Amino acid sequence: MSNDYPRQQAEDAQRRRAADAERRSDQRIRQQRAELIAWRTAQERRQSADAARRQQQDQERRRPAS
């Protein structure tokens, strides 16, 4: 009977390392996606605020001076 225990331990360790690396990669991707969504949301808010400010300025310019 051959002793496969060291080989099995090595294979288990390799599987754990691969699973850990995959989890870290998935976590990094989720973090990057969250950062991108936050940036995009903030960018859309800035653009909306800029548009509202321009519209307000246009309306103020159009009002007749009394």
Give the Cα separation of 54 and 44 in Å (integer): 15
Q: What is the pLDDT of residues 54-66, one digit of tens each?
A: 999 999 999 876 6
Give the Cα separation of 57 and 66 in Å (integer): 17
**Count of C-beta atoms within a 10 Å radius of residue 31:** 10
Location of structure tokens 């989720």: 30
Q: Does the reported pTM lie above 0.95?
A: no
Q: What is the pLDDT of residues 18-42, one digit of tens each?
A: 999 999 999 999 999 999 999 999 9
